[in-house]
Structure 1
Amino acid sequence: MVEITAIENILNSKIQQQSALNERFLFTSPETSLITSGCFKRISQPLLDNTGNQVAFQQALREQFRLARAAGITRPKVVGAIPFNSYQPTALFIPEHVTETDREQLITQLRPYQQISLAEVIAQQAFPDQHHFTNMVSEAVAAMKRGELDKVVLSRLLKLSTRAPINSTALMARIMEQNPDNYHFHVPLSGQEVLTGASPELLLRKRGSLFSSRPLAGSAKRQVEWGDDQEIGERLLASQKDRHEHQLVIEGMTKVLTPIATQLSVPETPHLVTTSKLWHLATTIQGEINQPNENALELAGLLHPTPALSGYPHQLACQLIQQLEPFSRDLFGGMVGWCDDEGNGEWVVTIRCARLHQQLVTLFAGAGIVPASDPLSEWHETGTKLSTMLQAFGLH
């Protein structure tokens, strides 16, 4: 059961001045949703050391799990976010208490917080602006036509200035209500910052020795009229450009997973999935791990970032991203989720998200660029992706 009493106590107090989530980590999925309280230990050690290995991190995590059990925490979990660049510090912690529930209960419990008005947005700034972004796409397309790489994911930010700090619980309540089928997350960061969002993309789920993933690549804006909407979905499924982009992601992930799996099921063709704003091409990958002692975070780290967030080949794509993007992604485009001391866990890609800090809200969106990409179309695609979070603010 969710910690209903704790939430009700806050709802019965001065709701306009309170935040039920505050320092809590929240994560929802169709499988297991959870909400935390308290912090036993924060972990900032990068996932990868300077040799590109997870060994030091995993040893440190096992030691923290041991200390948590010794302190009386049963089945401890590590929760939080990993940056796009796995060599950068993580934003993880081991909670004192974790309550598992289901997504519908959490949506219901937070629904009353929608009555809280969000602080007014008084300014918006695209970073980079449209001209700069379309030039980035043109440079990437030219590099691909020269044969330097097959795909790169380029992103942009939208910065919102608000009249007062944003109540993250009120924002989370709106996000969950508007995107009920997505993976929701609320991650408390240092300095009273919060990372929050509604990701549609499962990076990795592990239960026992079984794992699954559902990468997304290739998207199209949904339409209001049912017939038009269905036509857009069918057009996306038949799009040679989007199918090519998607296949690059699947090939890259299959190459990573094949050596570590005793069984691996990768469908030959993608299927369509929808969010409130977009159609996506998706492929559900399933398998069984050949080393059951490897935990969910370790496996997710092998895949992260997938070609859906970096490009293909990965190293060349990351070099081009660093060259073209005028900012560091930090936690944007990373992964967020949880892992327990038995190795089970669930991690999703940190997209359709926002970072809150005082009176500044930073939104993030990216687009997969392939040789057939049109710069202006990619600008509009990122705009559609930003609308998932903008809708929560009542903006378009």
Structure 2
Amino acid sequence: MAGLLTSTFRIPGFHQLADLFPKHIASLRERLHRGDQQIKTTIIKLKFEPEDHQRIDLLQWLNGQENFPRVAWTNRENSYQMAGIGSAAPQIQMDTCQAGDFSGLASGLAKDGFEYLRFFGGIAFDPTTTSDAEWRSFNIGRFVAPMFSFEVEQGQTRFIAQIVAIDKLAPALDRLLAEFLMLNESFVHDSISEANFRITQEIPNHSGWLDIHHQILTEIDQNQIEKVVLAKKLVVRSDGNLSPLRIFQELDRTNPHAFKYYFEFEEGSAFTGASPERLFSIHEHELTSEALAGTRPQGTSATESRQFGDALLTSEKDQREHGIVFDELQRRFELLTDQIHGDDHPGILNQVFVQHLHQTLSGRLKTGTGPVRVLEILHPTPALGGHPQAAALGAIKKYEPFCRGWFGGPVGWIQGNQAEFAVGIRSALCIAQNQINLYAGVGIVAGSEANAEWAEMNQKLRVWEGSLGL
């Protein structure tokens, strides 16, 4: 069993962190010097909290750093925000995977002391399929525990420095200090307005979508499938070098009530988005998830938005689509939990440009059930895959003319038996120096209209208006 060496330091303000951090490391090193013999694995975790309750812009700090990986996460309630860089421990990389089997992630998390670290990352939508070259740096799944991070939780901002020490503590402290001294103290305020963005490719295009939609409806009419979720991909290019993190900063600012995520494991390739959908969260053995299906736009006024919402609540087609998702979620919850409870009826979840039918479900996890097992059972939900699962996933492989990669996959964090994951939608892959791929999908059921679904995907893509000006 690994040990945990943790200390919390109260400092006057973060402006003194550069001076005080080396002094605290030296003091800690001196105290440990006499006993620095051969040790078991130890997690060193140092927390710095300002006495003046100073708030900083986490993403501007992250944008000022030059090391990788760089990751960021904000939950939908805005009660927890994190921006971090570097690796406190070896990254967990999943290179192969069988359907419903994330044992590679489980074995990576099972290493001594890793239960004390919060790992951020994600998994591909279809982990059984080899991703194309655009997704090379993401693997089937990849998770990192940042060496340095700023966190804001319940209004308290803290700086965290952490590292895994093996054999001796002193070398780990020396490395932690050396890496800290490489951090950039500046906060970058660069702009994305210098670049002009244009759509260069739409996959599929509108005529291709009409053909695919017709073929899916034919399979639904033949009772081969009940629901399929298909997506489109926009290839957007800029006339200058784009800054993925700056794009994410604008996305974060313009989408206040979404799960915001940013993963840049290697320079120049970043996956980012603002998802409305919680896959699940686990807190003190309580599992919470939700069914999210059915969409209407927001109106140009509060009255019009309410009218759209009322239409969504009374739509037979949307209620049926939502019911498919919720019923399947309940079935999977029975495999994972006891004492299931949740909303009796769907309500409305509002986002900036759209609104969705939304219904929560919670339950007490069965003994021995942890986050990885929950991932295996809940992903992919019918909200992003379809139903029945095998037939729907087969239709996606058959008809969708691009590789989803992490789009639609689980993104979030795990720490011991606690976890929070969103569904990686309203997302983008930034690649090369001037290309960004945008993704949006819709659920197709009996009664779906091709042009209406096409318009819905375009409405969902409006999440990028503020960042890219499209």
Q: Which residue of 1 aligns with 2:142?
A: 91
Q: Which residue of 1 aligns with 2:90?
A: 41
Q: Does 1:58 align with 2:106?
A: yes
CA distance in 2, matches of 1:373, 1:85: 25
CA distance in 2, matches of 1:44, 1:343: 20
Q: Amino acid of the residue matched to residue 224 of structure 1? A: T
Q: How does 1:346-385 map to 2 (within 5 A)?
A: 346-357=420-431, 358-385=433-460
CA distance in 2, matches of 1:8, 1:51: 40
CA distance in 2, matches of 1:10, 1:36: 9
CA distance in 2, matches of 1:183, 1:371: 30
Q: Amino acid of the residue matched to residue 141 of structure 2? A: T
Q: TM-score, normalised by structure 1?
A: 0.87
Deviation readout 1:329-380 (Å, 9 max, x if unpaired): 111111110001x210100000011110121100000000001100011111
CA distance in 2, matches of 1:336, 1:11: 22
Unmatched tracts of structure 2, length 5 or more = 1-9, 18-55, 130-139, 158-185
Q: Amino acid of the residue matched to residue 354 of structure 1? A: A
What SS class does the counterpart of residue 326 from structure 1 fall into? coil
CA distance in 2, matches of 1:265, 1:278: 27
Q: Which residue of 2 aligns with 1:333?
A: 408
Q: Amino acid of the residue matched to residue 395 of structure 2? A: L
| Residues 155, 366 of structure 1: 8 Å contact kept | yes
CA distance in 2, matches of 1:258, 1:10: 40
Q: Which residue of 2 aligns with 1:194?
A: 270
Q: How does 1:16-31 map to 2 (within 5 A)?
A: 18=64, 23-29=69-75, 30=77, 31=79
CA shift in 2, pair 1:26/1:51, >3 Å: closer
Q: Amino acid of the residue matched to residue 58 of structure 1? A: A
CA distance in 1, matches of 2:59, 2:150: 17
| Residues 58, 83 of structure 2: 8 Å contact kept | no
Which stretch of structure 1 is more off in the superposition, 202-211 or 93-102? 93-102
Deviation readout 1:154-184 (Å, 9 max, x if unpaired): 1000110112232123212211111111111
What SS class does the counterpart of residue 133 from structure 1 fall into? helix
2:203 to 107, 111, 127: 127
Q: Which residue of 2 aligns with 1:72?
A: none
Q: Amino acid of the residue matched to residue 350 of structure 1? A: G
Q: Could you tell me how far 1:51 is from its partner in structure 2? A: 6.5
| Residues 165, 359 of structure 1: 8 Å contact kept | yes
Deviation readout 1:66-93 (Å, 9 max, x if unpaired): 1658xxxxx2122111110133521322
Q: Could you tell me how far 1:26 is from its partner in structure 2? A: 0.6
CA distance in 2, matches of 1:154, 1:42: 32
What SS class does the counterpart of residue 305 from structure 1 fall into? coil
CA distance in 2, matches of 1:11, 1:273: 29
Q: Could you tell me how far 1:118 is from its partner in structure 2? A: 5.2
CA distance in 2, matches of 1:151, 1:10: 38
CA shift in 2, pair 1:51/1:355, >3 Å: closer
Q: How does 1:242-257 map to 2 (within 5 A)?
A: 242-257=318-333
Q: Amino acid of the residue matched to residue 319 of structure 2? A: R
Q: Which residue of 2 aligns with 1:180?
A: 256
CA distance in 1, matches of 2:274, 2:245: 14
CA distance in 1, matches of 2:421, 2:120: 10
CA distance in 2, matches of 1:10, 1:349: 22
Which stretch of structure 1 is more off in the superposition, 3-12 or 146-155? 3-12
| Residues 28, 103 of structure 1: 8 Å contact kept | no
Deviation readout 1:178-201 (Å, 9 max, x if unpaired): 111111111113453001111000
Q: Which residue of 2 aligns with 1:390?
A: 465
CA shift in 2, pair 1:246/1:10, >3 Å: closer
Query: Which of the pair has more CA radius of gyration?
Result: 2
CA distance in 2, matches of 1:123, 1:158: 7
Q: Could you tell me how far 1:313 is from its partner in structure 2? A: 0.4
CA distance in 2, matches of 1:116, 1:231: 36
Q: Could you tell me how far 1:103 is from its partner in structure 2? A: 8.6
Higher relative contact order structure (alpha carbons within 8 Å, sequence separation ≥ 6): 1
Q: Which residue of 1 aligns with 2:384?
A: 309
Task: Identify the structure with the greater strand proportion.
Answer: 2
CA distance in 2, matches of 1:349, 1:373: 23
CA distance in 2, matches of 1:372, 1:20: 51
CA distance in 2, matches of 1:222, 1:236: 11
CA shift in 2, pair 1:219/1:114, >3 Å: farther
CA shift in 2, pair 1:59/1:8, >3 Å: closer
Q: TM-score, normalised by structure 2?
A: 0.74
CA shift in 2, pair 1:201/1:50, >3 Å: closer
CA distance in 2, matches of 1:50, 1:80: 19
Q: Does 1:77 align with 2:118?
A: yes
Which stretch of structure 1 is more off in the superposition, 162-171 or 148-157? 162-171
CA distance in 2, matches of 1:32, 1:265: 25
Q: Which residue of 1 aligns with 2:43?
A: none
CA shift in 2, pair 1:21/1:272, >3 Å: farther
Q: Does 1:222 align with 2:287?
A: no
CA shift in 2, pair 1:9/1:98, >3 Å: closer
Q: Amino acid of the residue matched to residue 101 of structure 1? A: V
Q: Amino acid of the residue matched to residue 306 of structure 2? A: Q
Count of residue pairs brought into register by the alignment: 378
Q: How does 1:251-270 map to 2 (within 5 A)?
A: 251-270=327-346
Q: Could you tell me how far 1:115 is from its partner in structure 2? A: 4.5
CA distance in 2, matches of 1:275, 1:300: 25
Unmatched tracts of structure 1, length 5 or more = 70-74
CA distance in 2, matches of 1:20, 1:105: 26
Percent identical among aligned pairs is: 24
Q: Does 1:318 align with 2:318?
A: no
Deviation readout 1:268-324 (Å, 9 max, x if unpaired): 321101100001000111111012x43324313310110000000011000001100
